[in-house]
Amino acid sequence: MSDSGLPAPMVDALQKHCHRLGCFAGRVRYLREIRSTNDKAIELALAGASEGTTVVAGAQTAGRGRRGRSWSSPKDAGLYASVVFRQPALSPLMTLMSGVALAEAIRRKTKVTVTLKWPNDLVVKRNVRRKLGGILAEAGLSPTGRAHVVVGFGINLRAVPRPATAPDEVTSIEGECGDVVPLESLLVEVLVSLVAWRETMIAGRTGAILDRWRTLSPSSTAAMVELAGPSGPRRGTTAGIDADGALLVRIDGATERVVAGELRWV
């Protein structure tokens, strides 16, 4: 460990690539174990932490995903991190933008053809879709009214048992390609990718982000889904996403926008 709390290999990797890290340079923190990296990053954001502040953990004891679901975070088996963003222009499509950044980083660093599943999953499809990672974006305001968006993500690196998760529902980089990618190497590539797509968003080029997301998400068109509703589940077919990032679903000849709620892929 270095004096900053970062493992020595992470220090070396971050220093070597500091010129590529933009707002993340010098703002990465590491904890061996934590309840949730998002909780810690939100705490730091509320206390005034700068954009680019990043919390990385060796393990999470209470990692969570969308709609309060738990996220299995075994020790040293994944990249568990949360980053603080401050630019208001980033908020509307933050989850989709982050998905593009993470998918491209994984593709560049590994042999894994990871794709995106709306709204926040990184998946690999071989006969069935298996989850490789997930994203959780949470926005808030400090007592002084300063806005932030914290984006947390978990990427499964090692093929280890994950409690309360069916083996055929999840996968890992090691399980897909047989190689173990160093944590610090993937972290650097993810942060570099986030820098690039953050700049695209700030420049107002949201169309480029949406177009790339569509390319990386084959399941966003012509896939069967089931929507929960007051009258029971309804089945339809995905028909892409709109300019706001909502999923479009064709049901009984009509197109509906799905922004939130329960959605099951069938």
**Percentages (nearest 5) of helix, strand, coil residues in the chain:** 35, 30, 35
Tens of pLDDT along 51-82?
Answer: 999 999 999 987 776 655 666 688 889 999 99
Tens of pLDDT along 220-233?
Answer: 999 999 998 888 89
The model's pTM is 0.93
Q: What is the rounded CA–CA span in Å between residue 98 and residue 192?
A: 12
Contact 105, 216 (CB under 8 A): no
Tens of pLDDT along 201-252?
Answer: 999 999 999 999 999 999 999 999 999 888 889 999 999 999 999 999 999 9
Of 65, 45, 94, the residue nearest 213 (C-alpha):
94
Please determine, looking at this structure, whether the domain spanning 8-216 carries the CATH number 3.40.630.10: no
> Where are the chain's structural domains?
8-216, 218-265
CATH topology of domain 218-265: SH3 type barrels. (2.30.30)
